[in-house]
Amino acid sequence: MASAPKIPERLHHTAYVSKNLEATRQFYEDVIGLPLLATWCESDMLFGAERTYCHVFFGLADGGALAFFQFARPEDQELFGPKMPDTPFHHVALKVDQEAQKGIEQRLRAAGYQEPRMYVLEHGYCRSVYAVDPDGMIVEFTVDHPDADQINAKRRSDAHSELKRWLAGDRTSNNMFR
């Protein structure tokens, strides 16, 4: 029997374009509390032109990072972003513990964040604080339910059958935790 394919170990980084790296730094470092780990100032031949940009990384506890680019030339900045869709269904979610989530929520409120730039959802299987960053990206800070291991085991056991059921037209909720 063939072994399962080796899968990625963790998220190394996810990258976005920022229109103002200082505003981005203030949000992620000063308000959220992610440390600025690295700043790379570079010029590369990319997509048929010389592109000069700054690339910053904000650290996560597992060694991963959120990364952001800002381009020197306005035409590069316009070409590559940021173009965040105006929907809450496009976001990055970060796992936190209750203490971290409480601190982030307090710092967001102290910085003047309120609906619609910050909101809380009780999903049942987790509690999430959502915040909109200076470029319009939504960042979710999630605390798992105390029974997350059992909940996740159940969803893993029926993931394929539940997807097939939903795709076949049965849209009944399977979230018994709300």
User: Is position 17 within any domain?
Assistant: yes
- Using CA atoms, how far residue 45 sits from 19, 21, 55, 63, 80, in Å, is 21, 22, 15, 29, 15
User: Is position 175 within any domain?
Assistant: no
| 118-152 pLDDT, tens digit each | 999 999 899 999 999 999 999 999 999 999 999 88
Tell me the C-alpha distance between 150 and 126, whole Å: 13
- For the stretch 46-49, contacts whose Cβ atoms lie closer than 8 Å and that sit 24 or more positions apart, written own/partner, are 49/76
| 10-53 pLDDT, tens digit each | 888 999 999 999 999 999 999 999 999 999 999 999 999 999 99
User: Is position 133 within any domain?
Assistant: yes
Confidence of residue 5 (pLDDT cuts 50, 70, 90): confident
User: Is position 160 within any domain?
Assistant: no
In terms of residue numbers, what domain contains 57? Answer: 13-144
What pTM was estimated for this model as a whole?
Answer: 0.85
CATH number of the domain where residue 115 is located:
3.10.180.10
User: Is position 119 within any domain?
Assistant: yes
User: Is position 35 within any domain?
Assistant: yes
Distance of CA 44 to the CA centre of its chain: 27
Q: How many residues can be counted in the chain?
A: 178
User: Is position 31 within any domain?
Assistant: yes
The H or E element spanning position 46 is strand 36-46
Residue 135 sits at the vertex; the CA angle it makes with 47 and 17, to the nearest 5 degrees, is 20
Structure tokens, 168: 């076949």
Give the orientation angle of helix 148-157 with respect to helix 159-167, to 10 degrees.
60
Residue 102 sits at the vertex; the CA angle it makes with 99 and 108, to the nearest 5 degrees, is 140
Query: How many separate domains does the chain show?
Result: 1
